Amino acid sequence: MRSDYSVGGVAALMRDASKSTTYKPALLKALARIAHRDDSLNLPLARLGEEFVRLYWDQTVVYHLRQAAVLSKEATAVKLIRATALEHGVHKLGDLPPSEREHLVTKMAKLLTVNVLAAFHSSKPSTMSALYTWDTTETHITLSPESHAFLRNNALSLELIANYHWAAYLEGCNRLAPRIIQKVSREAAHRSSLARYMALLMRDGEAECFYCERRDGSEHGMQVDHVIPWSFLLEDPPWDLVLACRACNAQKSDWLPDYEYIEKLKRRNRTITLAPGYASPLVAEPDIDRFFNAAISLEWPGFWTPAP
């Protein structure tokens, strides 16, 4: 049988796919990633399940992106992850106990057999061969040497196609979330150091916690905090940065603060002076409200206040 694979063929498959979930871009991404690293033509379903867990975890638990217009309609993969994170009080996938992670992977692998693997090729152009075969009695899918080579040689392009369709779908359900493309594409969140903002944020050489207002004669014990969480904005704009004591910073984590702190932030920004080299523009006050309301509308954990 002649195998006819092309990036254009996969792009057409994605374009014509029914888009009630993000399983197809997720599976394409998983296939490209695994083939890129692994020589085997038999891909265990557990391996795919593991990749699904990795792909959906940050989007769901860290970035709080919805994968459906209403939470109750979310795909089973997302519900499984949300429930696991909640049950174990875990924010980072790396903090999930190994046995629980394995459990989650097993459930995800089972889910693939329900309608994901069999449905993937339904919108495939008739001229293109299937990327894999799968027998419902088997616990692995099978690539041909040609499809494996195609996935490996075009892994980057295929991931870009998957990211595009995944992000386009998420834009529809997360209308006000910033940087959706980055949240879909990035492997892991990379935060840069905020140490350089410490001096900028100290008032007259004194450090005061933005939340509990505890004063400290030095920067010791103070940390730079994002009022609107970094994992929502994915950037470090000076208008969002304040000093927080270690206790407040640790407790707040990536919660949104109570709205009174948004008001306070706006007042603070009216007086902040940005030294040369900190050229990021301050945003207009309605924009800060817009970010706050957007996060609330995505059911971001919110209304945090410091312990008395």
Q: Which of 212, 233, 283, 294 binds Zn ion (CB under 5 A)?
A: 212
CB 81 to Zn ion: min, Å: 32
What is the full DSSP assignment across 180-215? HHHHHH-SS--PPP-TTHHHHH-BTTBEE-TTT--E
Check residue 209 for interaction with Zn ion (CB under 5 A): yes
- What are the start-end ranges of the E strands in the chain? 42-44, 140-142, 207-208, 215-216, 222-226, 241-245
Based on CB atoms, which residue is closest to Zn ion, 143 or 209?
209
CB 278 to Zn ion: min, Å: 24
DSSP summary character for residue 272: -
Based on CB atoms, which residue is closest to Zn ion, 106 or 305?
305
Residue pair 142/44 in contact by the 8 Å Cβ criterion: no
CB 260 to Zn ion: min, Å: 14
**Region from 8-16, 74-82, 162-170, 240-248 binding Zn ion, contact rule CB under 5 A:** 240-248
Check residue 211 for interaction with Zn ion (CB under 5 A): yes
Based on CB atoms, which residue is closest to Zn ion, 25 or 229?
229
**Region from 8-16, 77-85, 157-165, 248-256 binding Zn ion, contact rule CB under 5 A:** 248-256
Check residue 242 for interaction with Zn ion (CB under 5 A): no
Q: Which residues contact 284 (CB under 8 A, 6 or more apart)?
A: none
CB 109 to Zn ion: min, Å: 45
Total of residues contacting Zn ion (CB under 5 A): 5
End-to-end alpha carbon distance in the chain = 72
Check residue 300 for interaction with Zn ion (CB under 5 A): no
Neighbours of 272 (CB within 10 A): 16
What is the full DSSP assignment across 129-181? PPS-B--TT-SEEE--HHHHHHHHHTHHHHHHHHHHHHHHHHHHH-TT-S-HH
CA 289 to chain centre: 22
Check residue 227 for interaction with Zn ion (CB under 5 A): no
Rounded Cα distance between 7 and 13, Å, is: 10
Q: Which of 248, 256, 262, 265 binds Zn ion (CB under 5 A)?
A: 248
Rounded Cα distance between 54 and 101, Å, is: 10
**Region from 1-9, 22-30, 158-166, 247-255 binding Zn ion, contact rule CB under 5 A:** 247-255
**Region from 21-29, 81-89, 172-180, 206-214 binding Zn ion, contact rule CB under 5 A:** 206-214
Residues in contact with Zn ion by the rule CB under 5 A: 209, 211-212, 245, 248
